[in-house]
Amino acid sequence: MRLQVILRYLGFVLLFNAFFLLISAGISIASADSAFYPLLFSAIVCFLFGIFPFIFVRSTFDITSKEGLSIVVVGWLLSCLIGMMPYILWGGVFSFTNAWFESVSGFTTTGSSILSNVEALPQGLLFWRATTHWIGGIGIIVFVLAMLPSKGPAAMILYRSEVSPLAQDNFRYRTQKTLKVLLIVYLGLTVLETLALVIQGMSLFDAVAHSFATVATGGFSTKNLSVGHFSNLGIEITIIIFMVLPGIHFGLLYLFIIGNPRNLYQSTIVRYYIAAMLAGVLLVTISVYGSHYSLWSDALRYSAFQVISIGTSTGFANADSTAWPPFAQLIIIFFTLQCACTGSTSGGIKADRIVLLWKSFLRRIIKLRHPRAILAVKINQMTVDDEVVETGLIYILIYLTILLISSLLLTSFGIDIMTAFSGVAAAMGNVGPGFGSVGSLNNYGHLPDFVKWVLTIDMLVGRLEIYGLILFASIRWWK
C-alpha cells in the first residue's frame, strides 16, 4: 500500500470536516455563545492537517482495493477523533471518553448521548453535534467523492468500500451517477423536512438540527425530552414521514421522484419493510392501550412514533417506552435488531437480510420435503446467487454473536441484563435508545468508561458493517 496516497484522500476527509466546523463556528458567532473558540480552533487544526498532504503528495486516480478500504475505515476513525475535539475544548461533562462517545454516536448516526441536559450546550456545539449526524448519514467518503471531480477507478473502489454490497446491487448507474442520486435524495429530503417543520412551528435552528438527525436516521435532538418537548402532533407526523423515507433504498426513492415508481411499489424489501412497521405499530398500540393510554388515538400516536423511530434506527422519542409492557418492549427490540433497508441511512441487520433469511428458510423446508428439487432464492423475481445468500446469513450470525459477547462484557461490569442487551443492540443497530437505564428519555452518561468504549466499538461495527472491518483487520494477509 502507498501511505502517501491514503494520506491524500484522508486530507479530503479532514477538509470536509473543517468546512462544517467553520460553519458551526459561524453559528456560534451569530448566537454569541461559548463554543466559538473550541469550534474555530478545531476547524483550523482540521484544515491544517487536511491541507498538508496536498503540498507534498501528488494526485493519483489509481488506487488499490487495500488502499480504498484503508481510506474508508481510517477516514471514519479520523472523523470521529476530530469530531470530539470541540467537545473536549468546550469542557463541561465532556471528558475524553464522553467526547469520544458523543462524536462516534454522532458520525455513526446512533444518537446515544452522555448528556443529561442537552439544552445546556451552546447553539454552535448543538449544530456541530447535529452536523456529525448529517455527515455520517450518507457516509463521509460518499460526500467527499460527490464533491470531487470524477476520480475514475478510484471513485469506484472507494464507493464499493463504503457502501454495502447489498445496496450496490440495487443501483443501476455508474459510480458518479450513483453519487449524484444519493446527494439529490439526501439534500432534497433535508430541505423538504426543514421547510415542513418550520411550517409546523419549529424555529429554523431546531428544524435544521432535527432534519439533519431525521434524514440521517440519527436521533440527536436539541431538547432534553427529544421530540416530546414540542408536544405537537403535526411535528410528530412530519418526522414520522421523514423517518420512513430515508429508511428506503435511495435508488428506489430517486426512481420514484423522476416518475418511475414501479420499482418502489414492486420491491419485495420495501413491501416487507412497510408491512412489518405497520404490524409493529398495531401490536404495540394494542399492548399500551388501557394500561398506559386511555384513548386509542393516544395509544396509536405514541406507539407509531416510537416503533417507527426505532424501526428506522432514528431514535427520537415522544414517550418513555421503558414503562411500557414487556410485549411492547420485545417488539421494539426486534426492530432495534432489524432496522430498515440497505441503500438507506439506517443501521441494523437490515430488512433485506431478514427477507433473505425467511426465503432461505422456506427453501430449506421445501428441500426437506422434496430432496431432489432444484430451488433458488428469489427477490423481486430475480434469482439471488447462493454465495450472496450464504454471505447474508453468516452476517446475521456474526452480528448476533458480537451482540452476545458485548452484552456479556457489559453485564460483567454490573449492568443489568435489559440495559446491557438493549444498549448493545441499540449501539450496533445505530439506533440510540435502549431499555432499562438507557431508555428513550434517559442517557448513557452514568455508565462506566469501559462500557462506553465497548459501545462505541459496537457503533462502528454496525455503521461500517462487519465484513469491511474484518477485511481491514486482516489487510496485511491479503494477496
Give residue limits of the domains in the chain.
Answer: 1-162
Which candidate, 9, 27, 13, 161, places its Cα nearest to that of 82? 13
Rounded mean pLDDT, 61-72: 78
- DSSP letter assigned to residue 121: S
CB-side neighbour CA atoms (13 Å) of 165:
12
In this structure, of 98-107, 268-277, 412-421, 470-479, the range with the lowest mean pLDDT score is 470-479
The percentage of the chain sitting over the pLDDT mark of 70, rounded to a whole number, equals: 91
What is the reported pLDDT for 84?
Answer: 96
Per-residue pLDDT tens digits for 258-311: 888 888 888 999 999 999 999 999 999 999 999 899 999 999 999 999 999 999
- Beta partners for 293? 289
Cα–Cα distances in Å, from 45 out to 16, 22, 106? 13, 11, 20
Task: Report d(CA 56, CA 54) in Å as an integer.
Answer: 6
Helix axes 65-90, 140-147, angle to 10 degrees: 110
Give residue 170's pLDDT: 54
pLDDT digit string, tens, across residues 107-165: 999 999 999 999 999 999 999 999 999 999 887 667 666 655 555 555 555 555 556 65
C-alpha 465/C-alpha 156 separation (Å) is 18
Question: Which residue shows C-alpha cell 466499538?
Answer: 457
**Contacting residues for 369 by C-beta, under 8 A, at least 6 apart:** none
For 215, counting Cβ atoms within 10 Å of its Cβ (0-12 exposed, 13-18 middle, 19+ buried), the class is buried
Which of 51, 38, 202 lies closest to 128 in space, CA to CA? 38
Q: Distance between CA 333 and CA 99 in Å, rounded?
A: 27
H or E element, residue 382? strand 382-383
